[in-house]
Each structure stands twice: as C-alpha cells, then as structure tokens.
Structure 1
C-alpha cells in the first residue's frame, strides 16, 4: 500500500527515536538512583505493601510477580542499558520485528515501574512517556519507511498535550484570561531554575506577551499539526520554541523535552536530507499498525470527551496501560510561595535556645543565598512532592511521617536524596518541619545581600518529634 508509508519522514523518525531513547534513559536512571528510599523494601511507600493490596488488573507490573530491591535495580539498570543502545542507533541494525520487540520491552519495563510507583510516579509526564513509548514500538526502523498512521497518532498525542494545557488554563485561573499569571508563576512554580529569578523580574508587559504567546501556541497552533507541509512543520517548530522557553524558565523534569521530541516527529525531514532506499513494508507489519491505530482511536474517545468537558481533568490515565491519556498543566497558579523547611537538633532536651540545623534539598528552595540550579530533565521526585506538601498537608499524608523517621534513623538511602545532611556523624535527636513564605529578592536586595530569596516564618508543619 503506497499510502501506508512516507519516506520524507525518514530523518524525522531517526531524530525522534534517538531523542525518545534519551528521555527513556533519564527516566530509568532517575528510577535506579532514587527507588530505595521512595518505594524500596524500606522506602516511604514500599512496593511490597502496595502489591499486596492492589490487584494485577489495576496495576499490571512485573513487580506484581516478584519484588526485591535487587530485582528492581536489575529492571531499572537494564532499562538504562537498553535505552543507551537505542540512543546509539542499535535498533536500526536488526530485523524489524526484533527492533519492535526491543522498544516493547523498554515500554514494559517502564510501565512496571510507573504502576507501582504510587505518589512518586503520579506526574503527567510519566503517562506521556508511556503513551509515546507505546507508539514508538510501531514506528519501524531502517528496514521500512515511516508509517503514516503512527506519525498521525504521534501528532494526536502532541495535540492533546498542547491543546489540553491551553484549555485547562482558559477554563481555570482567571489570571490566564487576564494575562497576569506570569506575574507570579516564575516565583511560585514547583522548582525554579537558575534563570527563573530573571524571568520573574522581566517587565510586566513582557509577561503579558509571554501569556498571550502561550495561548496562541497551545490553543491555535496544535490544529495546524494536521495540515499539509510545510505548515505542519512550522507549527511543530513554534511548539519547540515555546518548550525551549519553558526549559530556560524552570525545571519540569522531562515534560518539555518529550513534548519537543513529539514535535520533531511532525517536521518534514526531507528538507534537510533525502531518505535512502528503504525495503518494502511487510504485510504483517501493515496489519499490526492498522490494528494498533484502530485501538488507539477507540481509546481516544474518553480523552477527547475530556477536552470538550467543562469539568476537564488534567493528567489522567483511562486505562492501566497508560495507552491514551488526558494532559494539562497549571490550571491554577499560586500567588504566594510556601516551602516546608525541615530541621533537626542533637539536643535531647528542648528549650527556647535549642539550636536547629536545616536539611538542604537538591532542587527545591532552602538556603536563601543558594541560586536555583538546573536539574531537568532529571526528575527530583522528593523535591517535587515537598512543593505539593507546602500546598496542603494532605499531599504529604502517605509518606511524610516515614520520611521524618528515616531522617531520625540516619537512613543512608534517604539522605542520598538530599543535598546537605547537617548531621554527618550521628542522626539528630529531634526533627521538625516549619512552613516559610518565600519570595524573590529585588535587584537591590540581591546586590546588597547576595540572597536570591527572602523568607519569613508562617506556621508549624510538624512539631518536634523523635523516635519512640
């Protein structure tokens, strides 16, 4: 079937697959380095306890069959190795069926992690990686030209990511409609980056332009993805530019990067390089791709209905395999930044003069003189959840108490998640948590004090506690 493939997207597929493998590599690396403290056998939300109460059909995973920290590490590091090999182009040197199986194994391994990750893996970009990774299984390799149907499905994912985010903003916080949200967002976003302070201090008219441009990119441009070239490619390029702007202004794990990866699949690669001669498409492959396309279109009913609903939901999966999902971000924007600051003391008897020392996190604001750092696309899961905890203690309910216990125990794996442990020789006798109001300093304050933040105490989050 001549209509089934389009060689003009040969280079686009190559770039897309290499870049997606890079995102997979970061995701598996994040899992490998952080899992013991978060979901390990002695983690804050242990996988063994989760799989005992949640059946297979709700959370299909290899870890439903067996779990140990050693087995999880094997899965995560195997994912790293397989991703790195795909990044190097290994899948283009093996038969088509074997390449598809390779991508499928990668998807299965990450699905197994996400489905037992609980709160720590409840972010929209987890489902986005799985949905994109599932479609990548059927995109082929050098043994065939890129299939048009899969390219269309990738644009459908990108459309829902962008249009869903645009709609949730217009329907949500009025500051998006008034073009004022960026007066606050650069300061109150979950994890500011090294340039976020400077973005915040842009003139307010520039913030209005930022918001207006965002609305155009998310509410108008996505429809152009389904037009002929070169319009579709230009639309994809605008999305890439917008995402790079977001990369510069904050730390959003791999959300921006995988959106860029999706956009690259919509660019006409023939403008840069001609495709080599590619073999004819096998009949079995055409049948499989058509069947998957029908499946995805059927499953798209609920996400599409969600886009049209006045009660639109963000970042929701409609099936346990995360095949077709709803996306969105920042339907509301905070006006004030609160941070939970954790402190400990060696003193066994507390009094007014007790000396408390602060734990330092890798990404979230703490020390007012520390310039925010760039971590994305690496995902600091604990730091992100600490931001949610500051919004409401309900977000911290399932894990925060165990986190504090691990600090009192001096747990090595938990301390690895932090930048600074103020008790290197022995664990503290007591720990506590307090809520502070953080705001960016002004230019004058920065020059005078060297501090990027100003903070003031608001309330207690957790009273001093110790091991019983």
Structure 2
C-alpha cells in the first residue's frame, strides 16, 4: 500500500510557489495589458463581456478602486498569500488554495486573449485539485495523514496522464507533416515563441538526432503515460524520470513560463514516501521496511515483468519507427512505419480501455482508502474518517467523470457514446475551468522560416527606427533571452500575430505607441531609456513581417557573430499616425475608442499602498523579481528545515541520553541488589 504523505507535501509546496510566480508575473504587466490606458482595458471587458459572471472585481468601486487597481490588489493578495504558503507549511491549507484558485479564476475571466493559454487553464484545473488534496489545517489544527489522501492525490496523476497522452496524440492527429516525417525538431528550436541560447546549439545537432528525439518524444508522451497506473512501483518511477527528462530538456531549450514547472509538479503524484526518503538519504520507517521484506519472495517475478514491459516498449519503438543503425551517417535512421488510419484505429481501440483503466485504478484507491478508515481505532475517529472518505470519494468520482469529456475529444466515436448526463455536467462547470482539453505543440509553424513582426517608428516618415522587444527575437545580433518562469504575454501574442493577420490588440498597441503611453512601453522595455522614442512618441508607426532563421555553426565549429539571419517578407501593418483614417476605422471597429463612464479618482489608503508598491518594482525586470523571490523562499525553507532537523536530532539525543541513564541506573541498582543478596547469602553460610 503506497504511502504518499511526503510527495503530497512536496506537491503542495510546489503549487504554492507556482501560484506565486503566476501572480507576480501577471501583476507587473497589468497596467500595460489591462490598465485604463492599456492594450485591452479591463473596464471594457467588464462592461460588455462578463456582466453575468460573478467576480470580485465588481467590488472594486465599493472600495474606492477602479478596475485596474482592483486587479492589482487581487494579484498582490494572491502573491502574498502564496508566498506565505511557501514559507509556512501551516498555510498550505485547503482554504488558502481555494482563495488562490478563486483569485486566479477572476483574473482569467477578464484576461481576454492575453490569458487564454493552455497553461493558464492547466493551472486552474490543477489548482482546484489542490483544494481537494490539501488538508484543512486552519480548521482542524492538524497536519496529520488522512486516510483518503491517496484517493485525492490520484486525481493529480489522472490529470498528468490526460495532459501527456493528449499532447502526444494531438501531434499525430493534426497530420502535421513534420511530426509524421519526424523532422519537427529541425524547425522547432528556431520557430518556438521565445527560444533560449541553448536552442541555438540544439538546432545545430544532426538531422538523425532530431528525428530520434522526436521518436523519444512520442514514446514518452504516448507509451509511458500508461505506466502511471502500473501496480509495479519501479515502472511508475521509470515513467516519472522519463517525464522529468522531457520537461527538463524543454525548459533548457525554450521559455514556457511556469508550464513545465507545473508539469513536473504533477509528476510528483507518481512518487511515494520510500522514494522521497531515498532522495533525502533517510531510512524508511518500520512499516515500509516490513512491506518491502514481505515482497522479497515475489521480487524476481516483479523484475521479470518489468523487464518484459521495457523490452516491449523498446521493441515496439524499433518496429513502429523502423530504427536502424546507419553506418554512413554514424547515427540511427528512423521513419514512421504506420499510417494515419492505423493510428486513428489505435485511438479508437485504446480510448475506452483508457477510461476503464482509470475506473479500475480509482476504484482501487477508494477501496484501500476505506479499508484504512475502517482500521482506525476509536468509534468517533472511525466515523469522522468514513464521513470524510464519503465526501472526497464523491468529489473524486465527479471530477473523474467530467474529465472523460475532454479526454474523449481525441476520438469522435468514443465522445459520441458518452452518457448525455456526463456532457451536461461538463457544460455546467465549463466556465470554471475545472477540467480542460490539452494538446501542446500540435502543429509546427515556420517551416519556411520563422515569421516575426517588426515594429518601426519614425518622426518624418523617411527615417525609420526598429522598436526592439526585451524578449522576442528582433535584433539579429542579440542572443535569445532566458525569462522562465516569467511569461511576457505581449511578446507571446506578437508570435501568434506573426502567424496570421493583425488582431484588435495589435491596433491598440500601435495606437498606444503613437500616444506614448508609458505603461505599454514598459511591456516592450522595462528600462524605458532603452526604448528609442522614450523622449517623444513617434509620429508614424508601421510593421513589417520578416522570416528569421538561426545562423549556422562555422565550419571550424566556432560561433557566428550573429544569432539570427532574416529576410524581408511583406508589410504587416500600414504606416499610420494619430488621426489616420485606417487607424481610426480599426479602433472604432474593435470598440477600442468607446466612451466609458467617467472615473472618480480616489486617494484612500489602499490606492496609496498600491501606488507605493508599483513604484518599488518599476524598472525591474519581472523575471528578476520572480527569481529573487524564489531564491529567498527556497533559502528560508532550507534554513527552517536545517533548524527543524537540528531540533529533531537534539530531541533524539536527549531521549537517547535519558534512556541510557535509566538503563545505567537500573543496572547500578541491579548490581547493588546483587551485592546485597550475595552478602546476605554469605552471612547465611557463616551461620
């Protein structure tokens, strides 16, 4: 029976840290994105978009705050609460995580296009599961192990399975020729949104290595997730380390904010106390040693089964991707040895068994949990445990049931045959983001070169100056940035804009640059002095689309002076100025010049505090703030852990010393008693 108390505690700590990152990253961008003079003012969204949706932001006017100040206050409270949860275990509580989830949900409701990313939905879904996983320490005043913890923690593993399997399946279901041809990574490193410097070096690897990496990706995302529910512990650990390997490589080669960190946090659901103790170099408790000892006679059977599973995975990989050693390239040749129809048939055959696998696995967790509840001594304790089990079992079953809707989206027939009541239940909670569909990197873009939009400004319409962003590629000599776990949301949307036509927010961006709005400029350059038009706004602004490629390594193996090369593609946005007919028509079309109700500025204590806080972080890059907070939090937790271990060691030493003294005293009394008895016997003999 797997003990999960330590992975669960580590999971809660990581979730608190990820919430802190998400709130801080969003907070620094609120004025430029959603401010009253930002790209997409939240006042417009609240006025026209979500009147029927409940949100705490409606309470802002009652506190003397406008919408921008309300969003900043909500983000700051979320950041402070998550920071407190990182530092103090007592605050990693179900009620605290509920507050964090509700706060991020309210931000998501007004986030519009800048917050509609899959990782934001993933954070909301994981955050709601965290509410079920976390203990009610603030109510009960205890951080003890609950009998149903393994059952609620299982939901995290089920989410990880859905995430990884869907991410692998969507790559093939999209019919993207690069995924089917195993050449996706020959383009991915240079065409992803914000690559890292290591992406340049990864791009220089030989083609056979890129193709083999794609094969490994399919194995890790499609085959390995089925091992998550294996009854053999070492198979689960093997799947865990495969996922860690994939996510680590993605972190090193691309800036995907907190997404990969969140995925690694989900992977903690595959661990148990025994393996965490192995990391910490701690000895297992008596119960775990007893369980390990009782299974020694069956260990050879387990080893044989594990060897068969890994051999089957390796053999299937060789067969389905026709892996062969190529002596001419000193590498491994590979190709996809199955068709789209065959893969589609595989999905049809595997979707229903996946659902039953989840049903059986969850049922087993429920049975083991109720068995533990029944074995607790004391009638009242047993009754309370059974009541808790009933509540959380119903919650787990409900979450699992509605998650079948997004899971079955991959295969039409299975989705159609779902019970209508399941789809109705899913529709009822859809806007709360309790369960979502996933599928990352389904289509590789930029096969003919990475499209990139370059903004330019001018005072006379003749001499033009490029407006460089802090993070996205622009200057061909500038190295790629490293910003993880921060997400510069404007830079991300610039990448999406380059793939298609201009969006409403892009027209708003051009308009704000012509006006010289400082909040929007800080989204482009935190250090405003680096912005070429910081003294006076440009008179004209235009945008062109270029095609970017990574430069190639020199024949002698040395690095090029430039990281990128580019060629001109086409005009993306025409030259405009304030009052230009085209600009005015676009602003009116998108409702960006609609008149809003007059605002009544307030100067109460909350507003002053928000202004002071904003002034303290102004001019500091967001990723610097985030890493500083993470470093300080990790250092604090490490020091507290050392102190706790020292106190524990001192307590053990004191107890040991007391026991030794008692033993010595008992032995001394025994010796004295023996001497007295011996003297008495000698006197008797003399008599």
Could you state the TM-score of these two structures normalised by the residue count of structure 2?
0.62
Alpha-carbon shift at residue 283 of structure 1 (Å): 4.8
Alpha-carbon shift at residue 291 of structure 1 (Å): 2.5
SS at match of 2:70: helix
Separation in 1 of the partners of 2:401 and 2:285? Answer: 33
Which residue of structure 2 aligns with residue 389 of structure 1?
497
Which residue of structure 2 aligns with residue 117 of structure 1?
111
Conserved? CA contact 2:217–2:246, under 8 Å: yes
SS at match of 1:272: helix
Which residue of structure 2 aligns with residue 3 of structure 1?
none
Separation in 2 of the partners of 1:285 and 1:54? Answer: 39
Of 33, 44, 47, which residue of structure 2 is paired with 1:49? 44
Q: 1:26 to 1:208 in 2, by over 3 A?
A: same
| Between 281-290 and 373-382, the greater mean CA deviation after superposition | 281-290
Alpha-carbon shift at residue 91 of structure 1 (Å): 3.0
Of 460, 463, 472, which residue of structure 2 is paired with 1:355? 463
SS at match of 1:192: coil
Task: Please list the CA deviations of residues 263-286 of structure 1 after superposition, one character each: whole Å capped at 9, or x if unmatched.
Answer: 012212323335799997745533
Structure 1: stretches of 5+ with no match in the other structure: 1-5, 94-98
| 1:443 counterpart = 2:553 | yes
SS at match of 2:270: coil
Structure-to-structure mapping, 1:156-171, within 5 angstroms: 156-171=158-173
Separation in 2 of the partners of 1:307 and 1:199? Answer: 31
Separation in 2 of the partners of 1:46 and 1:245? Answer: 37
SS at match of 1:230: helix
Structure-to-structure mapping, 1:245-324, within 5 angstroms: 245-273=249-277, 274=284, 282-309=385-412, 319-324=430-435
| 1:326 counterpart = 2:432 | no
Q: Rg larger in 1 or in 2?
A: 2
SS at match of 1:300: helix
| 1:10 counterpart = 2:10 | no
Alpha-carbon shift at residue 250 of structure 1 (Å): 0.8
Structure 2: stretches of 5+ with no match in the other structure: 61-65, 136-142, 278-283, 288-371, 416-425, 580-687
| 1:180 counterpart = 2:288 | no
Q: 1:49 to 1:311 in 2, by over 3 A?
A: farther
Separation in 2 of the partners of 1:72 and 1:425? Answer: 29
Separation in 2 of the partners of 1:33 and 1:311? Answer: 44
Which residue of structure 2 aligns with residue 96 of structure 1?
none
Conserved? CA contact 2:551–2:560, under 8 Å: no
Alpha-carbon shift at residue 174 of structure 1 (Å): 2.3
Alpha-carbon shift at residue 340 of structure 1 (Å): 0.3
More helix, by proportion: 2
Conserved? CA contact 2:154–2:269, under 8 Å: no
SS at match of 1:195: helix
Conserved? CA contact 2:23–2:75, under 8 Å: yes
Separation in 2 of the partners of 1:406 and 1:180? Answer: 41
SS at match of 1:115: helix
Alpha-carbon shift at residue 249 of structure 1 (Å): 1.1
The two structures, once aligned, show a CA RMSD in angstroms of 2.5
Alpha-carbon shift at residue 54 of structure 1 (Å): 2.5
Separation in 1 of the partners of 2:2 and 2:393? Answer: 18
Alpha-carbon shift at residue 92 of structure 1 (Å): 5.6
Q: 1:60 to 1:159 in 2, by over 3 A?
A: farther
How many positions carry a matched residue from both structures? Answer: 447
Conserved? CA contact 2:2–2:272, under 8 Å: no
